[in-house]
Amino acid sequence: MKLFTKSSESNAKLGVAERTAYMMGNVGTALMNTIVASFVMFYYTDVMLLNPAIIGSLMLVSRFFDGVTDLAMGVIVDRTHSRFGKGRAWVLRACIPYAVCGILMMSVPTNSSELFQYIYVFITYNLCNTVCLTALYVPYNSMTCTLTSDPYERGVLGTFVMFGAVIGTMAVQSTVVVATKALGNDPGAWQKVAVVYALIGACLHLLCFAMTKERNISDDGTLENTKKSNLKEEIKAVLSNKYWLMAVGATFLALTFTNMLGGSGMYFAKGVLGDTDYYAAFANVMAITQLVGMFFAFIPMKLFGKRNTLMIGLGLMALGCFIQFLFPTILTAIIICSAIKGIGGALGGAVLYGLIADTIDYGEWKTGYCAAGIGMAAMTFVTKVSGGIAGSVIGLLMDVGKYDATLPSQPQSAIFVITLCFTIIPMVCAILAMVILIFYKLDKLYPTIQKELAERREKKIME
Tell me the C-alpha distance between 58 and 183, whole Å.
29
Tell me the C-alpha distance between 161 and 32, whole Å.
16
Q: Which of 210-224, 233-247, 386-400 is most confident? A: 386-400
Task: Count the alpha carbons within 13 Å of 191 in the hemisphere toward its beta carbon.
Answer: 10
pLDDT bracket for residue 322 (50, 70, 90): very high
Instruction: Report percent pLDDT > 90 for the chain.
Output: 48
Tens of pLDDT, residue by residue over 128-156, are 988 999 999 889 988 887 888 776 777 78
Residue 219, pLDDT score? 47
Residue 14, pLDDT score? 82
Determine the average pLDDT of the residues in 61-85.
80
pLDDT bracket for residue 61 (50, 70, 90): confident
pLDDT over 80 (residue 462)? no
Question: Do you know the residue count of the chain?
Answer: 463
pLDDT over 90 (residue 308)? yes
Residue 268, pLDDT score? 94
Contact (Cβ atoms closer than 8 angstroms) between residue 66 and residue 389: no
Task: Count the alpha carbons within 13 Å of 251 in the hemisphere toward its beta carbon.
Answer: 28
Predicted TM-score (pTM) of this structure: 0.74
Tell me the C-alpha distance between 10 and 18, whole Å.
15
Tell me the C-alpha distance between 124 and 113, whole Å.
16
Q: In sequence order, what are the residues at sequence separation of 6 or more whose Cβ sits closer than 8 angstroms to the Cβ of residue 188?
A: none
Contact (Cβ atoms closer than 8 angstroms) between residue 23 and residue 207: no
Of the listed ranges 80-84, 256-260, 408-412, 454-458, the one predicted with least confidence: 454-458
Tell me the C-alpha distance between 110 and 72, whole Å.
35
CATH assignment of 16-213+228-462? 1.20.1250.20
pLDDT over 50 (residue 220)? no
Residue 297, pLDDT score? 82
Contact (Cβ atoms closer than 8 angstroms) between residue 67 and residue 248: no
Q: Report which of residues 234 and 178 the model is more confident about.
A: 178
Crossing angle between the packed helical segments 242-267 and 331-367, to the nearest 10 degrees: 160
Residue 431, pLDDT score? 97
Q: How many CB atoms lie within 10 A of CB 167?
A: 18
User: How far is Cα of residue 223 from the mean position of the Cα atoms in its chain?
Assistant: 24
Angle 424-257-298 from CA coordinates, rounded to 5°: 125
Determine the average pLDDT of the residues in 18-26.
93
Cα torsion through 167, 168, 169, 172, rounded to 10:
120
Residue 216, pLDDT score? 62
Q: Report which of residues 229 and 79 the model is more confident about.
A: 79
What is the overall mean pLDDT for the chain?
A: 86
Residue 371, pLDDT score? 65
Write phi, then psi, for 11 (nearest 5 degrees): -100, 35
Task: Give Cα separations from 164 to 152, 201, 290, 387 (angstroms).
Answer: 19, 12, 11, 19
Residue 408, pLDDT score? 84
pLDDT over 80 (residue 39)? yes
